[in-house]
Amino acid sequence: MALINENFLHLPNNYLFSEIAQRVKAYKAGHPSSEVISLGIGDVTRPLPRASVDAMKQAAEEMAYARTFRGYGPEQGYDFLIEAIICNDYLPRGIKLKPDEVFISDGAKSDCGNIGDMLSVGNSVGMTDPVYPVYADSNVMCGRTITYLPCRAANGFVPSLPDKKLDIIYLCYPNNPTGTVLTRAELKRWVDYALQNDSLIVYDGAYEAYIQDAEIPHSIYEIDGASLCAIELRSFSKTAGFTGVRCGYTIVPEKLTAATRHGERISLNRLWNRRQCTKFNGTGYITQRGAEAVYSREGKEQTRQIIAYYMENARRMKEDLQHAGFGVTGGENAPYLWVKTPEGVTSWEFFDRMLHRANVVVTPGAGFGAEGEGFVRLTAFGKREDCVKAMKRIRERM
Ligand SMILES: *Cc1c(COP(=O)(O)O)cnc(C)c1O
């Protein structure tokens, strides 16, 4: 008899986005002439940078000739992309990485879901509430106990240090869903906590490119000692529109270790490499050439324009929502706006009001955790004209 992993039965029903889709569908069926605008989804709308498209075309052409054809690639990724990442994302910030500390992936979701493969089920895990659901669900799947660190208006949506020892901590900054960032001093408190408590930080920097404030750190390795306690995840998805192409990367420093039950220190870089070589096929050659082109002169300029487009959406949305009387967090260093619902209105009730009165789809905060109740998330990933139209309706009808 094949037995299941019963931890799967403890997963919360993944009803957030299906419930949203269902309610939108029902509304549209009853109001066929209404034009519903979605500011709820976390997907981007701007097309790929031209530099990436051209690089992928050329890479595809190389595949047509025996002389330039590529078969199985290195599971860790091609050197050309690893070098581009080290030279462009890290060296300018004073961070020196070796090529074998960088692992190219098919995106940050896979890596943050899989990283637990090399860590004991017995570890205690901490993460914020509200939270990106992948951190929580991937830990429930293998049976780890989660401690939630509440992020509320009272603490500026920045979690306090845990009052106990936690073995693994997930941090995501700029944050999805609240749009908040950590200052250098705040991030240093987490690194110091991890060093003192021998904890591992899994730092999700998927929105790093959205940081506008020069004082905000882009990488956890800008903090002294972080290479002894942190893994960092990055992605081309939100930066360069790679949500459909699929490419990201993970930094596992050579010096980073965790313990066996007997206290022996083991290199996590070695374990992650072993895990990836066994279970991951590597990111496709064509995709990696597309990602490499993000770092070309044209690619950088085109990517900068994409980010600027979304951040202009965020700026306008925040201004309009505040004029309409809503309490809004985020939107300054992140493409997310975290909006307080009116007093006494739940996040699902507010979702319904927005849908019915303004024909705008938002994401109920309760879908990101108990502390998300009383908030909704709006994304700045929409088309400009949709954002403008949606804000006009909210001003007039809400
Ligand atoms: C979108 C997102 C990612 C990136 O996911 P990919 O798998 O790289 O597309 C990672 N973390 C968070 C918090 C995200 O919102």
The rounded mean pLDDT for the chain is 97
Task: Provide the pLDDT for residue 12.
Answer: 83
* pLDDT tens for each residue of 35-82: 999 999 789 999 999 999 999 999 999 999 999 999 999 999 999 999
108 lines ligand 1 (CB under 6 A): yes
Q: How far apart are the C-alpha atoms of 151 and 149, rounded to whole Å? A: 7
Indicate if the pLDDT at residue 5 is higher than 90. yes
Does this model's pTM top 0.75? yes
From the CB of residue 121, how many other CB atoms can be counted at a distance below 10 Å? 11
Burial (0-12, 13-18, 19+ Cβ within 10 Å), 85? buried
248 lines ligand 1 (CB under 6 A): yes
> Residue 216 — very low, low, confident or very high, per pLDDT cuts 50/70/90?
very high
Q: In ligand 1, which atom is closest to the CA atom of 109? A: 7
Task: Provide the pLDDT for residue 134.
Answer: 95
Pocket test for ligand 1, best of 203, 238, 243, 280 (most atoms within 8 A of CB): 238
Task: Provide the pLDDT for residue 41.
Answer: 78
319 CB-near residues (< 8 Å, 6+ apart): none
**Residue 32, both tokens:** 């066929």
Task: Provide the pLDDT for residue 264.
Answer: 98
Indicate if the pLDDT at residue 228 is higher than 80. yes
Residue identified by tokens 């749009």 is 179
Ligand 1 center to 77 CA (angstroms): 19
Ligand 1 center to 16 CA (angstroms): 17
CA distances to 46, 109, 125, 204, 334 from 148, in Å: 34, 20, 9, 17, 22
* pLDDT tens for each residue of 8-28: 999 987 778 889 999 999 999
Task: Provide the pLDDT for residue 14.
Answer: 74
* pLDDT tens for each residue of 279-290: 999 999 999 999
* pLDDT tens for each residue of 312-335: 999 999 999 999 999 999 999 999
Q: How far apart are the C-alpha atoms of 85 and 91, rounded to whole Å? A: 9
**Residue 225, both tokens:** 């000692």
Burial (0-12, 13-18, 19+ Cβ within 10 Å), 108? buried
Q: What is the 3-state secondary structure (H, E, C) of 127-175?
A: EEECCCHHHHHHHHHCCCCEEEEECCHHHCCCCCCCCCCCCEEEEECCC
Q: What percent of the chain has pLDDT over 90?
A: 97
Q: What percent of the chain has pLDDT over 70?
A: 100
104 lines ligand 1 (CB under 6 A): no
309 CB-near residues (< 8 Å, 6+ apart): 46, 384
132 lines ligand 1 (CB under 6 A): yes
> Residue 129 — very low, low, confident or very high, per pLDDT cuts 50/70/90?
very high
Find the mean pLDDT for residues 352-373.
97
Residue having the nearest C-alpha atom to atom 15 of ligand 1 = 176
Ligand 1 center to 245 CA (angstroms): 13
347 lines ligand 1 (CB under 6 A): no
Task: Provide the pLDDT for residue 128.
Answer: 98
Task: Provide the pLDDT for residue 245.
Answer: 98
Q: How far apart are the C-alpha atoms of 81 and 58, rounded to whole Å? A: 16
Total residues found in the chain within this entry: 398
Task: Provide the pLDDT for residue 295.
Answer: 98
Query: Helices then strands (H, E): number in the chain?
Result: 12, 15
Segment (H or E) for 68: none
